[in-house]
Amino acid sequence: MLRATITMIAIAAFALIFARAAIADEVKCEGAIIAIDGDTVTVKDMTKHHQMKIEPATKITSAGKPVMVSDLKVSQKVKCFCEKKDQDSMLICTSMEIMRDTP
C-alpha cells in the first residue's frame, strides 16, 4: 500500500514537471511599434525591443474591433501578449491591442 502511494506521488510529480516544460512562457509588453517587416513586428517598451511574429491566429484589435495586420503602422502604441516556447525562439504574438491615443 505504501509503495503504491509513493509510486503514484512520483508519477504525478514527473507528469507535473513535464507538463510545465511543455507550456510556453507568456510575455507581455506595452510600447510603440518601431518596425514592421512582413509578419514580424518590433515593439519598443521602456527597457528593450521585443521582436514578434504575427500569425494568422493573432487577434489584433483597435477600440475593441478587429483589424488586419496591414492596418498596423510604425509609431502606434500597442499592448501585446506573446508566447515564447523556449529561450532561443522568437516571440509569437497571440494578441495585440492598438491603444486609442495613437494614429
- Give the C-alpha separation, 56 to 68, whole Å: 10
Average pLDDT, the chain: 83
- Give the C-alpha separation, 103 to 61, whole Å: 14
- In sign, the C-alpha dihedral spanning 54, 48, 27, 19 is positive
**Domain made up of 25-98: CATH architecture:** Beta Barrel (2.40)
- The pTM of the full predicted model, rounded to 2 decimals, is 0.71
% of the chain surpassing 70 pLDDT = 82
37-80 pLDDT, tens digit per residue, is: 999 999 999 888 999 999 999 999 998 899 998 899 999 999 99
- Give the C-alpha separation, 69 to 64, whole Å: 15
1-44 pLDDT, tens digit per residue, is: 677 777 767 676 665 555 444 456 888 999 999 999 999 999 99
| Cβ(28)–Cβ(81) below 8 Å | yes
The residue extents of the domains of the chain are 25-98
